Structure 1
Amino acid sequence: MPWADLLKSGCRIFIGSNAAVPNALVADLIDHSRGLHDIEVTHILTLSDNVWAEPRYRDLFKVNSLFIGGEKVRDAIAEGRADYTPCFLSEIPQLFREQVLPLDAALVMVGPPDEFGYCSLGVSVDVVSAAVRFARRVVAQVNPRMPRTSGHSFVHVQQIDAWLEQAQELPEIQPPELDQVTEQIGQYVSLLVDNGATLQLGIGKIPDAVLRYLGNHRNLGVHSEMISDGIIDLMQSGVINNRRKTFHRGKAVTTFCMGTRRLYDFVDGNPHVEFYPAEHANSPTRIARNDKMVSINGAIEVDLTGQVVSDSIGRKFYSGIGGQVDFIRGAALSRGGKPVIALPSTTRDGQHSRIVTTITPGGGVVTSRGHVHYIVTEYGIASLHGKSIRERALELIRIAHPRFRRELLEQVRKFYWVPEYQELAPTSVPELGPVESKRFAFDGIRYTLRPLRPADERLLQEFFYTHNKETLLMRYNHHVTQMSREKSCSLVSVDQRRDLALCFTDRQGQAEVIQGVGRYYYIAADNSCEVAFVIKESRRGKGIATTLLEEMEGIARSRGIDRMVACVRRDNHPMLAVFENRGFQAIPGEDLDEVTLALDLGGEKPA
């Protein structure tokens, strides 16, 4: 059928998505476009040369991109030759169905029909499925190289008005080389993934790094907008088996895939991977039907209140909303779900922080401060859900690049989010390992050992007010009745490079609760440190105190400290036993109420 019988000037066409762009169809349309003008081209991400966005075709095509991809489209939008229409991926089909963006034709790529007359949309079902259903005409490039994918990916030949048989190799995206920063981010994000979780991952360095650190996990599932090569080995090894999913159990669910030919061959005829339209797979309410849903997405910058900029660099539109909010919201609604935003702490040249006090003028907030739960950089995990603006600022400063922390604290103070008494920018304890935390289990309960942080002010207050009078007397040697905000702030605002403040926490639902605190104060005069700790009454006798002391002792030794000292009430027999069991010796003294104990470490004074 001639193009003149399918299209007319001023109509709107849809071009297939991602790795399924019907380039031969587009080229044929251009070659036979005489008499056609001002055709609006709408699409999402397209892995293609995007020839229709070139200036030479400005009289033939006008681009209206629903997700920006490729420099030609990006430049056309920046120059005003093209438009960008922001929209959640899950709602794009509604634009077609409700005639907000009525489609005169959908140009798509399919595989050859089977004996029943059904072609497969293959590697890109996403919004292509809706375009096929709601467009007035469907024109297909039949490509024998297109994988035949499972799920809701089929189009009957009777739905196709015209077609062109043309083989075309699918574009390939090679797995990226991972750098140290990306590896560290991946390791941190992997700590948020529990066994039995269901994952949503994008493409690029960070998702690949996350997958690399999931090899020791068990019974993971996939419900994702897209999948890439990274899932293949985990599915073949059984780490991803989808057995614990509570929605589409036993199946990895996606809307499209992009990667190498290995991935395309992997999904070809694979009944364990199912492709669904975006309005189904990206529906937040359906995503939330997966328990322990973990959504992992990227960002361009994040401000200190938690606003996430993802589709523009200042006023220059760069990508789009896509499915980020769909999955962030779905994971937040999931039982045990975790919405995660992951990004490097600085720009590529290292000159600018991507954790910012205020968003770059013109920057677009894709994920609001109300949606965000976790922000991850190579410096750690910031938990923002349920946190005040002040607590969020402190958490985010902690995971910013150390070079920018002091500046961020000074800037944010101008807006009164951080009070005067908060003086120190967060510091780290590298001796706890690359993720600055350790996991332990006592009496069947899982704990995390980590540094106390400035944002722990309220958690420490809550911990204090769980103590009975006896505990307060034993720890402070007098009847303390109040832990003020200022006092709590001073106790969590520690220069961890000199002194040390650690805590044991566990999870009660989604809330983190402090169950034990240990600290030492460095005494420069004799290169020693004074150590003390307190454990919640209900968690004593489990080994928490002994482990805290062991860890602090190890850090003190690694820092070259000569001696650890502790002052303990004589009637605090359990505490005395903990120290004595670690080899502390009592030092003779005149104080009848307290015993001073010491442990020689044989360190060398730090330079």
Structure 2
Amino acid sequence: MSNSLPWHQLIKSGSRIFIGSHAAVPHALLDDLIQHSQHLHDVEIVQVYALGDNQWAEPKYSQLFKVNTLFIGGPQVRRAVAEGRADYTPCFMSDIPSLFQEGILPLDAALIMVSPADKYGYHSLGVSVDIVSAALRSAKKVIAQVNPKMPVTFGQAFIHKGQIDAFFEAEAELPEIAATELDAVTERIGQYVSLLVEDGATIQIGFGNICDAVLRYLGNHKDLGVHSEMITDGIMELMQSGVINNRKKTYHQHKSVTSFCIGSKALYDFVDGNPHIGFYPSEYVNSPANIARNDNMISINSAIEVDLTGQVVSDSIGHHFYSGIGGHVDFSRGASMSKGGKPVIALPSTAQNGTISRIVPHLTEGVGVATSRAHVYYVVTEFGVASLRGKSIRERALELIRVAHPKFRQQLLEEVRKYYYVPNYQTLKSVEVPELGDVGFKELCIDGDYFDLRPLNPSDERRLQEFFYSHTKETLQMRYNTVPTQMSREKSCTLVSVDQSVDLALCIVRQKGSAAEIQAVGRYYYIAADNSAEVAFVTREKFQGKGMASRLLDEMIRIARQRGLHHMVAYVRAENSKMLAVFERAGFRRGASDEPGEVHLTLPLQQES
């Protein structure tokens, strides 16, 4: 102690005190306060997520402490909130400092944990700068647990000893969170999300298994940067491997920016004295304007449920408050403002052992919307990526139904039809083509540009209309043997509502962020009578002769063989020499045709025994 009075005499009944957050909770201070609390009652504790034993939230201390948590974390605090013994105050992480500074939540004391002072008299806030920085600047009294085990971090992470009113020397290991085994669903979600992260992007990552899985699938990326309220072991590993080097960041280049870290002792050792990581206050790191200064900013967070219009719930399950808003909205907004940015929500398609869908037709009674419909660009489940930006309510519903669990898709479609989100002529059929591999599509490089080869799906209705109206009369004549003049919504819906387990409809799409344009479509129609398929395709004029038709045909042949089809047939106008060449290069042979001016082609698919 640096003063003559015991530090806990600085705390009075009715005081509001802040306690350090995340892995920097001053547990020794709180233990000491409890031991010397005979003269105290009705002390309000303001906190966010506090790792370790939150004993002050237990019922036996209800006369001594009242917890007001700004983010619910840990079973003791969650139980206290559920039982009405603690309060939950929802707020954005970026706004919490102003609650202290403007006297909305005036603080009588801040109990924090710091490293020992350096030779200049400065203590480091270590692994949690976040809202601790604002709390110590706003509190009437600052009381510090000095812990030799606290790492020294850089950025805006220091407080001079002259700003501290009382010291309490107590050495303690920082609480750790061990990595958990990832199940197949989580792995698949991580794989899909990683496909949205381009080389050179700057990432923000949330907490939990899904975010851990994303980081594991970023191992082959290049030149990633970090601007994230939190860093974890996964970030550390990518920095050590050189995947994260921050050299293409447009804000704080060459430095990973964060406000706190949670993980293993190896992570705490990694950040200790590391000049390549800057720890800054939440009002700086979580400022949407600062986040947006990073080009290609990718925000990746999880959720509890998402409705079919794109509203995201992240802090409650029905009327039961579960976690908090935290930095979720700050980063979704910042990423949406970033040049090339992508706000991403990732979640499993079901909960409670697969018994309920987390993609819902309407929000559960009692929940609150954390992230609005306009803030989310992508929603990812183990069944794929739903792209929502610029989509109508109808298109959003179809996109989200596509990534819902198959056993709930028909029910979801029937529910949204009640509200006229989706017209009655929109049908729902199997949309997966497992023969395309784990992620359900293939990336192609054609003429130095990149495209996705994937199945057509119901949400492509408008894109298919645009594709149709882009064709010249000559292309329409060659493809349809006539010149159709209209592609109505109903007709387009019919063409994209394909049972991909029977027929096959593939497309090649140029995907630039949330913008997608169909460049080619290939189909086969299954003929059960002789176990065959009739195949046809059409390519946008500017890409004709670039090999797209051949790539589609090769893929359809491969899938037809895997499905055990006996042969494929095609009918091509005799003057369509380019199309005939594509078929013949693939092994199709000409045969007699009943129609004049038409060539009949056949390709055997199975070896004759």
**TM tier relative to shorter chain:** over 0.9
- Asked whether 1:382 is paired with 2:386, we answer yes
Inter-partner Cα distance in structure 1 for 2:600 and 2:20: 75
Q: 2:322 maps to what in 1?
A: 318
Question: Which amino acid in the other structure matches residue 341 of structure 2?
Answer: G
With the length of structure 2 as denominator, give the TM-score of the two structures: 0.98
Pair 1:234-2:232 in alignment? no
C-alpha distance after superposition, 1:154-177 (max 9, x if no partner): 111011000100001100101111
| Local SS of the residue matching 1:365 | coil
Q: How does 1:479-558 map to 2 (within 5 A)?
A: 479-508=483-512, 510-558=514-562
- 1:452 equivalent in structure 2: 456
Report how far residue 265 of structure 1 moved: 0.3
Are 2:87 and 1:83 equivalent residues in the alignment? yes
Which range moved further: 591-600 or 318-327?
591-600
Shift of 1:44: 0.5
1:35-434 pair list within 5 angstroms: 35-434=39-438
Instruction: Tell me by how many angstroms 1:3 deviates.
Output: 4.4
SS of the residue corresponding to residue 343 of structure 2 reads strand
Are residues 323 and 394 of structure 1, via their aligned partners in 2, closer, same or farther at CA, if it must alter by over 3 Å?
Answer: same
3-state DSSP of counterpart to 1:439: strand
Q: Distance in 2 between matches of 1:326 and 1:408?
A: 30
Offset of 1:427 from its aligned partner? 2.2
What are the Cα deviations for residues 197-233 of structure 1, in whole angstroms up to 9, with x where unaligned? 0010122211111111111111001110101101222
CA distance 1:277–1:388, shift in 2 (3 Å): same
Query: In the TM superposition, what is the alpha-carbon distance from 1:426 to its structure 2 partner?
Result: 4.6
Q: Distance in 1 between matches of 2:412 and 2:66?
A: 43
Q: Paired residues, what number?
A: 604
Using the alignment, how far apart are the partners of 2:259 and 2:79 within structure 1? 27
Q: Is the 8 A contact 2:431 2:455 kept in 1?
A: no
How far off its partner does 1:479 sit? 1.1
Q: Any conservation in 2 of the 1:45–1:69 contact (CA below 8 Å)?
A: yes
Structure 1 alignment gaps of length 5 or more: none
- SS at the partner of 1:340? strand
Does the residue aligned with 1:367 lie in a helix, a strand or coil? Answer: coil
Take 1:425 and 1:150, find their aligned partners in 2: how far apart are those partners? 55
Distance 2:74 2:221 in 1: 35
Once the two structures are superposed, residues 5-50 of structure 1 have per-residue CA deviations (whole angstroms, 9 ceiling, x without a partner) of 4122111100100001000000111111222211111111000211
Give SS of 2:396's match.
helix
For residues 502 and 409 of structure 1, what CA distance do their matches in structure 2 show? 23
Instruction: Give me the whole-angstrom Cα distance separating, in 1, the residues matched to 2:236 and 2:86.
Output: 37
Compute the displacement of 1:510 (Å): 3.9
The separation in 2 between residues aligned to 1:508 and 1:602, in whole angstroms, is 39
Partners in 2 of 1:74 and 1:180 — Cα distance? Answer: 28
SS of 1:366's equivalent in the other structure is coil
Contact 2:100 2:138 (8 Å CA) reproduced: yes
1:280 Cα deviation from its structure 2 partner: 0.4
Residue 10 (structure 1) aligned with residue 44 (structure 2): no
How far off its partner does 1:121 sit?
Answer: 0.5
- 2-structure distance, mates of 1:167, 1:36: 26
Per-residue CA distance 1:110-158 (angstroms, 9 max, x = gap) = 0000000010000011100100111111000000000001111111101
Q: Deviations over 1:372-402 (max 9, x none)?
A: 1100000000001111111111111111111
TM-fit CA distance, 1:507: 2.8
Cα distance in 2, alignment partners of residues 245 and 36 from structure 1: 50
Q: Kindly provide the CA deviation profile for residues 289-341 of structure 1, in whole angstroms up to 9, marking residues without a partner as x.
A: 11111110000111111111100011000000000000001111111111100
Deviation, 1:508, is: 4.5
> Amino acid of the residue matched to residue 569 of structure 2?
V
Relative to structure 1, the CA distance from residue 80 to residue 603 in structure 2 (aligned partners, 3 Å threshold; closer, same or farther) is farther
**More displaced, 507-516 or 240-249?**
507-516
Return the match for 1:581 from 585, 594, 598.
Answer: 585
Matched residue type, 2:69? S
Q: Is the 8 A contact 2:429 2:500 kept in 1?
A: no
- 8 Å Cα contact 2:523-2:536 kept in structure 1: yes
**Is the contact made by 2:127 and 2:150 (CA closer than 8 Å) also made in structure 1?**
yes
Instruction: Answer whether contact 1:336 1:510 (CA < 8 A) is retained.
Output: no
Aligned amino acid, residue 522 of structure 1: Y
- For structure 2, which runs of at least 5 residues remain unmatched after alignment? none
In structure 2, distance between residues paired with 1:508 and 1:396: 20
Contact 1:225 1:256 in 2 (8 A): yes
Which amino acid is the alignment partner of residue 22 of structure 1? P
The normalised TM-score by structure 1 is 0.98
Partner of 1:482, secondary structure, is: coil
Give the alignment's Cα RMSD to 1 decimal. 1.1
Q: Structure 1 segments of 4 or more deviating over 3 A?
A: none
Q: CA deviation at 1:273?
A: 1.0
What is the one-letter code of the residue matched to 1:515? Answer: Q
Question: Does 2:575 match 1:568?
Answer: no
1:450 and 1:100 mapped to 2: Cα distance?
53
- Identity of matched residues, %: 66
1:526-584 deviation line (CA, Å, top 9, x unaligned): 00001111110001111111001000110000000011111111111111110011110
Q: Which amino acid aligns with 1:33?
A: S
Decide whether aligned partners of structure 1 residues 426 and 94 sit closer, same or farther in structure 2, where only a CA change above 3 A counts: farther
